[in-house]
Amino acid sequence: MGNLRTALLAWLFARSTGRDFLLRVEDLDTGRTADGAEARQLADLAALGLHWDGDVVRQSSRTDLYEAALGRLDVYECYCTRREILAAPSAPHAPDGAYPGTCRNLTEGEREARRRNRPAAVRLRSTVSSFTVTDLLHGEYTGTVDDVVLRRGDGTYAYNLAVVVDDAAQGVDQVVRGDDLLSSAPRQAYLTSLLGGTPPTYAHVPMVLGPSGIRLAKRDGAVTLAERGGPAVVLPEIAASLGLRGRTPHEMLDGFDPARLPRNPWTLPL
């Protein structure tokens, strides 16, 4: 329900401004063999009438693009484990959770020695500590930028790099997604600017919560399109939660105004 509600909003933002609605499968972690979840999600979108323009793009088939982008950025290898990063004293003025820069200035000899123990992640050598993005619901939002991981030790390209490369390649100028990703938008916009692009405008929309007050999950009960009774039940339910009228996405376009969207999470009645 959370993904479907966000997808409906993304479709409304796109269609109400004459934009295409693009569909990208972000499967760098799951790989191509994920258990039918992707096919189910695409079928759900189509059943709701959220039709997309062009072909579905899959990140798992685009690693050449990510590798090329990595080659254009100022980066360094990092050999830290998660535990070492948490245990390290944070750098002066660095916000909590920011990478403390342990591996930033190692000598080639030190790198050589560490490489033997552990496969290296690749981090951006950031020259800023914060960056500001424009969000249609949150206004100007300034957030932390640290030496973000661009490729993990296991060779997987990081989401933060992949979305930036894909948005640029697909001509995405507006990103609509859940507001759990608001705090990562400044990093992504900064990366975009480093790669010579213009950061998109964002609309980070409120999440759907389960009865426990945290992000909705499978364990919460009837949370999928099928479980809740299909489009005829779900579309009016989502529309009401957004203060929109209409039984189809096209009908909801009439009078769609981002300024009037709710700013708080929606707790799904179960």
Per the DSSP assignment, residues forming a β-bridge with 36 are: none
Asked whether position 80 contacts Zn ion by CB under 5 A, the answer is yes
- 3-state class (DSSP) for residue 135: strand
- Residue from 48, 69, 78, 122 binding Zn ion (CB under 5 A): 78
The DSSP-derived string for 159-207 is HHHHHHHHHHHHT--EEEEEGGGGGGHHHHHHHHHHTTPPPPEEEEEPP
Cα torsion 14, 20, 21, 23: sign: negative
CB 263 within 8 A of CB 137: yes
Binding mask 96-125 for Zn ion (x = CB under 5 A): ------xx----------------------
Closer to Zn ion at the Cβ: 102 or 134?
A: 102
Number of residues that bind Zn ion (CB under 5 A): 4
Closer to Zn ion at the Cβ: 107 or 264?
A: 107
Closer to Zn ion at the Cβ: 41 or 156?
A: 156
Q: How far apart are CA 111 and CA 103, in angstroms?
A: 8
What does the chain come to in residues? 270
Closer to Zn ion at the Cβ: 102 or 201?
A: 102
**Binding segment (CB under 5 A) for Zn ion, from list 55-63, 74-82, 219-227, 257-265:** 74-82
Q: What are phi and psi of 189, to 5 degrees?
A: -65, -40
**Binding segment (CB under 5 A) for Zn ion, from list 1-9, 23-31, 79-87, 176-184:** 79-87
In angstroms, what is the minimal distance from the CB of 166 to Zn ion?
A: 27
**Binding segment (CB under 5 A) for Zn ion, from list 71-79, 148-156, 195-203, 216-224:** 71-79
**Binding segment (CB under 5 A) for Zn ion, from list 80-88, 163-171, 196-204, 235-243:** 80-88
Q: How far apart are CA 135 and CA 124, in angstroms?
A: 24
In angstroms, what is the minimal distance from the CB of 153 to Zn ion?
A: 10
Q: How far apart are CA 254 and CA 202, in angstroms?
A: 22
Asked whether position 150 contacts Zn ion by CB under 5 A, the answer is no
| Residues that bind Zn ion in the complex, under the rule CB under 5 A | 78, 80, 102-103
